Chain A
Amino acid sequence: MSEETTHMVPYRTQLAVLLALLVLTGLSVAITQLEFGSYNTLAAMLLAGAKAVIVLAWYMHLKYEKQLFPVMVAAVFVIFLLVLFVTFFDYSYR
């Protein structure tokens, strides 16, 4: 048997999280309809990043898990950013 005491997230919290995600979605649609040039993409990515963090923390329970879980997830994102960096480094200086 598992000895874990699992955390129960109340319905209210989950609906509040949904509301936040919907607001951020609306914001990203609205902001990209404006003409900010390359800032549009940056803004859209920052908003998507915020949504991702919310989903990971609350819906995927990282907020309530053992510390090992968020550390591993962060490591995966660091690997992703490194690959992105190295790839662009390669393409930019060919």
Chain B
Amino acid sequence: MTIHRDDLADKFGMWLFIFTELLLFGMLFVVYAVYRSMHPEAFRIAGEELDVAMGTINTVILLISSATVAMSITAIQKGDKKRCLQLLSITLLIAVIFMVNKYFEWGAKFEYGFYPGSDVLAELGHGTILFFGLYFFMTGIHALHILIGIGLFIYVMLQVKNNKIHQTDYIWLENTGLYWHLVDLIWIFLFPLFYLIH
């Protein structure tokens, strides 16, 4: 007896989940757009507080990790388990580095007193409070997605190692890849909207 499998339906389900994610972040972008249009100058000045170099590094490494996930799927399709695990290890490592960078980035902000509800922000007016509120909320939810991604990659790597994910059955890897590209996709918009305002 063969177990019924429907990869297309699995992928379809993953995309439906991705749509809810796109709309979740999409609506936050709408909030951002409205408040920025109301406080353009405050957003511009507050945006210059963010570290462009750090943002760029995180953008670049996240793009590289997207490439390694995509390549790990090619590897499993070729039946190259070793290469697949190598590529997933790089992805996992990059996800961890992203979080380490985030820790230092947020840490520096907290040190200067830029955190939600701080006295420093309260003195800088509504626009700045809104900018940093959105910054912490949106990059925070994004970082939460990175953490979940780390968990998913550990699970998927174990499954590949134990031959549960293999050349003819790799939908788990494919859907995890889709998830990771979504995380990258959101960052593609977060980066210019927060770090590159001038």
Contact = CB atoms under 8 A, between A and B. Distances in A.
Assign chain A's interface to a size class: 35 or more
Interface of A: 1-2, 4, 6, 8-11, 14-15, 17-18, 21-22, 25, 28-29, 32-33, 35, 40-41, 44-45, 47-48, 51-52, 55-56, 58-60, 65-66, 69, 72-73, 76-77, 79-80, 83-84, 87-88, 91
A52 to B, nearest CB: 6
A64 to B, nearest CB: 11
A25 B56 contact: yes
B145 interface: no
Nearest to A17: B67
A8 B7 contact: no
Given A47-B192, A48-B188, A14 B178 contact: no
A25 B196 CA distance: 11
B189 interface: yes
A87 to B, nearest CB: 5
Given A48-B188, A60-B178, 17 more contacts: A1-B5, A11-B71, A14-B74, A25-B59, A29-B196, A35-B198, A41-B192, A44-B192, A52-B185, A52-B188, A55-B184, A55-B188, A59-B69, A59-B177, A77-B22, A88-B33, A91-B34
Q: Which of A9, A11, A79 has the most CB of B within 10 A?
A: A11
Chain B binding surface, main DSSP class: helix
Contact of B5 (A2, A41, A72): A2
B26 to A, nearest CB: 4
**Chain B CB within 10 A, most for which of A18, A25, A58, A60:** A60
B63 A21 contact: yes
Contact of A22 (B60, B73, B193): B60
Contacts of A9: 70, 73-74
B56 to A, nearest CB: 6
Contact of B63 (A18, A58, A66, A69): A18
Contacts of A87: 30, 33-34
